[in-house]
């Protein structure tokens, strides 16, 4: 991130990530309150606002979840302050309860919600199409294609929000959020942050019964006003086609960029007209009608669901019923996964009946090259505390295996999602944030097996707490592991309530998870060090056998986060190494720890890559022969010299045996 470009006061140009351009647009628009729960692909918006916090007078909070973040912004907006939140599409599921009501109540200060869909589910549990939230909530929606457009749309969204007193969604997709480009910077003119007097505003934001019914009528009137305004929006444009094949293209978002490349590759540049929509709710129907009137066919290019295609089909029925609509319903484009220029070229060629290059040979070559390559699964980072936690859990389960008791493993959303991959492969379910605890509540009453639920610290605060309270109240019996690594690690190590810091890494008040669980009424609550694998095994055994809700908080900060803090403190990170003269090749460090830093050397003995080793000591603590030690630290493992002493005794016995054998010889 180039922070100086984001906070630069003057006009000019800067090469920016789109998420940075969104922040720049909000700062130019004089945003006063921002609040977030982190989630890819919007995390850099939070991070950039956090880095820039000392440069401008806006108030920022990292909230417990997306609903709270939106409500923070809504509260500020009620008082007349411009506010912005950003979230991924599944986060909107959490925030939508509030969004739908805000559509009724309206707002006062500009309120902008950046919502990012994730076609291809790069970092999400589903390919959700968030565009349908806009018509459901009667909230206007803008869709940028480039970083420049994203910045301009955010600025305009504040103005639209205040003009119509309604929240505005700026909807992006992963390939828009994570693209970079040259962005024209506008002037930054910030107003002074001053508290408002609520009683002077004479505002009210209520919606019940008769009030809701009256406001529904107002929402419909507002939608008509917005549609009229969007007919002339500069965010909608037409790329004229001179010759034309009697067919035009309607598109939006990053698909517009794919269409431009596809037309060039197909030799159709300048021949096929293109309507690019930047305002996608309400759809400017007159603009669309004027575009498709007289065309023989309309190709709709969009990712995920046929949202625009349905709108175009309805409009065409009135103004051009003979026109053929090509899109997902015609089978020219898939409703699954994200598009790319080649897929769009193929779809356009299919609709127009043109030849398209056969890619079969390239795919076959790629498959052939892949033959023989070992499978590589996602895994925990070197030094990740979750590795030690799951190693201890596995040992506890093995120790209890004689009982014949079975287990169900409910996983959740976070770094620990990799619990599902080999070599552990323990997870039986993984749905959404906090669902592991809710699922455990349901299963614990209907299956014979003991349920083991896993949740992270950030998720604990985000969505798991109500389910824990439910478990306590109903005396449900299951084991809950809360993996507390101090930060929201998977989305970029942002602080959360388990951290002593808040937005901008300013001092905050930590909310201990174990205190919350005990206050909720949980009677079995233990806190362990994730790295102390051997010591944790008996704790986990008791938790697995406990007749009730057993909570174990396994705590160690995220290795990457911890390493960064060590470097800032000037502490050296010393890797571990294997003393091959001591190692007896049980391969426990490979089999039980499965750390990416471990490998088999050319001589068949374990080796630790010093470039990858985090120096966490977990493998050393688990080695029965004391053959793993900190580089340059001499003999002995991390726990002292216990194993080494045992090893020395064994060596002495071997020596005595050898000497005895020599005598016998």
- Per-residue model confidence as pLDDT tens digits over 154-207: 999 999 999 999 999 999 999 999 999 999 999 999 999 999 999 999 899 999
pLDDT grade for 243, boundaries at 50, 70 and 90: low
548 sits in the region (left: phi over 0; alpha: psi -120 to 50; else beta) called: left
Contact criterion met (CB below 8 Å) for 17 and 45: no
Q: Could you tell me which residues come within 8 angstroms of residue 177 by beta carbon, excluding any fewer than 6 positions away? A: 18, 19, 41, 42, 44, 116
State residue 363's pLDDT score.
Answer: 81
The structure tokens listed for 298 are 């309309």
**Of 173-177, 272-276, 630-634, 652-656, which range is least confident?**
652-656
Residue-wise burial string across 447-459, b where 16 or more C-beta atoms lie within 10 A, e elsewhere: eeebbbbbbbbbb
State residue 635's pLDDT score.
Answer: 52
State residue 35's pLDDT score.
Answer: 97
Cα 650–Cα 534–Cα 406 angle in degrees, nearest 5: 120
Distance CA(58)–CA(562), nearest Å, equals 29
Closest CA to 269 of 277, 259, 278: 259
- Summarize pLDDT for 354-365 with one digit per residue, the tens: 988 777 788 888
Distance CA(101)–CA(123), nearest Å, equals 29
Closest CA to 458 of 529, 568, 383, 558: 558
Q: Could you tell me which residues come within 8 angstroms of residue 653 by beta carbon, excluding any fewer than 6 positions away? A: none
Q: Is the pLDDT of residue 281 over 80?
A: yes
- Summarize pLDDT for 285-341 with one digit per residue, the tens: 999 999 999 899 999 999 999 999 999 999 999 999 999 999 999 999 999 999 999
- Order across the sheet with 549-555: list the strands: 429-430, 407-411, 450-456, 478-484, 549-555, 524-529
**Of 384-393, 430-439, 637-646, which range is least confident?**
637-646
Average model confidence (pLDDT) across the chain: 91
Q: Could you tell me which residues come within 8 angstroms of residue 464 by beta carbon, excluding any fewer than 6 positions away? A: 412, 434, 436, 437, 455
Q: Could you tell me which residues come within 8 angstroms of residue 301 by beta carbon, excluding any fewer than 6 positions away? A: 249, 250, 251, 255, 256, 258, 259, 327, 333, 339, 344, 347, 348
Q: In which element (H, E) is residue 217 found?
A: helix 209-230
State residue 624's pLDDT score.
Answer: 87
- Summarize pLDDT for 439-481 with one digit per residue, the tens: 999 999 999 999 999 999 999 999 999 999 999 999 999 999 9
pLDDT grade for 638, boundaries at 50, 70 and 90: low
Distance CA(637)–CA(621), nearest Å, equals 6
Section 132-150 average pLDDT:
98
Closest CA to 277 of 207, 230, 240: 230
Sign of torsion over alpha carbons 16, 20, 22, 24: negative
Closest CA to 104 of 199, 208, 34: 208
Q: Is the pLDDT of residue 19 over 80?
A: yes
Closest CA to 457 of 490, 417, 486, 493: 486
State residue 641's pLDDT score.
Answer: 43
Q: In which element (H, E) is residue 335 found?
A: none
State residue 560's pLDDT score.
Answer: 92
pLDDT grade for 645, boundaries at 50, 70 and 90: very low
The structure tokens listed for 271 are 């021949």
Contact criterion met (CB below 8 Å) for 274 and 165: no
Judge residue 632's burial from the number of C-beta atoms within 10 Å of its C-beta, 0-12 exposed, 13-18 middle, 19 or more buried: exposed
Closest CA to 614 of 632, 639, 642, 595: 595
State residue 589's pLDDT score.
Answer: 82
Rounded to 5 degrees, φ, ψ at 521 are 110, 0
Q: Where are the beta strands (DSSP E) in 336-472?
A: 407-411, 429-430, 450-456
Q: Which alpha helices (H) appear in 570-641, and where do they start and end?
A: 588-591, 618-622
State residue 245's pLDDT score.
Answer: 57
pLDDT grade for 273, boundaries at 50, 70 and 90: very high
Q: Is the pLDDT of residue 662 over 50?
A: no
Q: Is the pLDDT of residue 647 over 50?
A: no
Percent of the chain past pLDDT 90, that is, above it, reads: 75
Residue-wise burial string across 468-487, b where 16 or more C-beta atoms lie within 10 A, e elsewhere: bbbbbeeebbbbbbbbbbbb
Q: Where are the beta strands (DSSP E) in 520-620?
A: 524-529, 549-555, 576-578, 598-600, 606-608
State residue 633's pLDDT score.
Answer: 66
pLDDT grade for 497, boundaries at 50, 70 and 90: very high
Section 563-573 average pLDDT:
89
State residue 315's pLDDT score.
Answer: 97
Section 607-614 average pLDDT:
92
Q: For residue 119, give Cα distances in angstroms to 197, 225, 504.
A: 44, 31, 30
Contact criterion met (CB below 8 Å) for 476 and 470: yes
Sign of torsion over alpha carbons 401, 482, 90, 2: negative
Percent of the chain past pLDDT 70, that is, above it, reads: 94
pLDDT grade for 395, boundaries at 50, 70 and 90: very high
> pTM, whole model, 2 decimals?
0.90
Q: Partners of 138 in the beta sheet?
A: none
Contact criterion met (CB below 8 Å) for 19 and 170: no
Q: Where are the beta strands (DSSP E) in 213-292?
A: 237-239, 247-252, 274-277, 279-281
Q: Is the pLDDT of residue 564 over 80?
A: yes
pLDDT grade for 661, boundaries at 50, 70 and 90: very low
Q: Which alpha helices (H) appear in 552-600, and where do they start and end?
A: 559-569, 588-591
- Summarize pLDDT for 23-55 with one digit per residue, the tens: 999 999 999 999 999 999 999 999 999 999 999
Q: In which element (H, E) is residue 388 found?
A: helix 385-399
Cα 463–Cα 465–Cα 470 angle in degrees, nearest 5: 120
Radius of gyration of the chain (CA): 29
SS3 letters across 360-383: HHHHHHHHHHHCCCCCCCCCCCCC
């Amino acid at each position: 991130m180039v922070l100086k470009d984001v906070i630069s006061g003057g006009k000019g140009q800067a090469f920016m990530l789109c998420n940075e351009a969104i922040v720049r647009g909000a700062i130019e628009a004089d945003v006063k309150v921002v609040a977030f729960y982190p989630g890819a692909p919007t995390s850099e918006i939070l991070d950039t606002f956090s880095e820039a916090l000392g440069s401008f007078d806006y108030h920022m909070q990292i909230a417990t979840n997306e609903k709270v973040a939106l409500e923070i912004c809504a509260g500020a907006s009620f008082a007349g302050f411009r506010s912005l939140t950003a979230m991924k599409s599944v986060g909107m599921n959490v925030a939508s309860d509030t969004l739908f009501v805000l559509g009724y109540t309206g707002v006062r200060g500009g309120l902008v919600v950046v919502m990012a869909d994730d076609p291809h589910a790069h970092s999400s549990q589903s390919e959700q199409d968030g565009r349908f939230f806009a018509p459901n909530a009667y909230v206007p929606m803008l869709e940028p294609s480039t970083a420049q457009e994203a910045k301009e749309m955010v600025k305009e969204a504040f103005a639209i929000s205040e003009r119509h007193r309604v929240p505005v969604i700026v909807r992006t997709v992963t390939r828009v959020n994570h693209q970079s480009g040259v962005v024209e910077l506008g002037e930054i003119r910030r107003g002074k942050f001053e508290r408002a007097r609520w009683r002077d505003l004479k505002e009210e934001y209520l919606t019940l019964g008769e009030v809701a019914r009256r406001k529904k009528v107002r929402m419909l009137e507002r939608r008509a006003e917005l549609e009229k305004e969007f007919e002339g929006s500069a965010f909608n444009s037409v790329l004229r086609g001179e010759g034309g094949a009697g067919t035009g293209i309607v598109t939006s978002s990053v698909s517009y960029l794919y269409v431009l490349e596809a037309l060039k590759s197909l030799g159709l540049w300048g021949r096929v007209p293109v309507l690019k929509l930047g305002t996608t709710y309400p759809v400017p129907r007159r603009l669309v009608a004027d575009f498709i009137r007289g065309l023989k066919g309309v190709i709709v290019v969009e990712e995920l669901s046929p949202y625009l295609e349905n709108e175009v089909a309805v409009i065409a029925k009135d103004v051009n019923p003979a026109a053929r609509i090509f899109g997902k319903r015609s089978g020219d484009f898939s409703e699954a996964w994200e598009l790319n220029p080649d897929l769009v070229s193929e779809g356009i060629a299919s609709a127009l009946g043109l030849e398209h290059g056969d890619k079969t040979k390239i795919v076959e070559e790629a498959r052939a090259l892949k033959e023989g390559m070992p499978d590589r699964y996602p895994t925990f980072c070197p030094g990740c505390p979750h590795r030690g936690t799951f190693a201890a859990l596995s040992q506890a389960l093995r120790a209890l295996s004689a009982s014949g008791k079975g287990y169900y493993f409910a996983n959740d959303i976070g770094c620990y999602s990799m619990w599902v991959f080999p070599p552990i492969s323990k997870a039986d379910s993984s749905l959404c944030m906090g669902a592991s605890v809710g699922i455990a509540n349901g299963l614990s009453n209907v299956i014979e097996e003991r349920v083991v639920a896993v949740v992270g610290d950030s998720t604990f605060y985000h969505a798991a707490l109500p389910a824990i309270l439910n478990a306590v109240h109903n005396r449900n019996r299951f084991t809950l592991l809360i993996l507390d690594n101090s930060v929201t690690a998977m989305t970029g190590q942002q602080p959360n309530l388990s951290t002593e810091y808040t937005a901008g890494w300013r001092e905050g008040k930590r909310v201990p998870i174990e205190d919350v669980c005990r206050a909720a009424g949980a009677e079995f609550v233990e806190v362990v060090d994730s790295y102390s694998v051997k010591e944790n095994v008996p704790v986990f055994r008791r938790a697995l056998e406990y007749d009730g809700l057993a909570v174990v908080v396994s705590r160690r900060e995220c290795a990457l986060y911890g390493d960064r803090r060590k470097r800032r403190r000037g502490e050296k990170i010393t890797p571990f190494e294997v003393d091959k003269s001591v190692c007896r090749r049980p391969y426990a460090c490979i089999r039980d720890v499965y750390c990416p830093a471990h490998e088999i050397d050319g001589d068949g003995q374990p080796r630790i890559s010093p470039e990858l080793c985090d120096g966490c000591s977990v493998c050393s603590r688990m080695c029965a022969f004391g053959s793993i030690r900190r580089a340059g630290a001499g003999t002995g493992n991390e726990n002292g010299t216990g194993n080494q002493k045992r090893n020395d005794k064994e060596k002495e016995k071997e020596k005595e045996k050898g000497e005895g054998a020599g005598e016998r010889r």
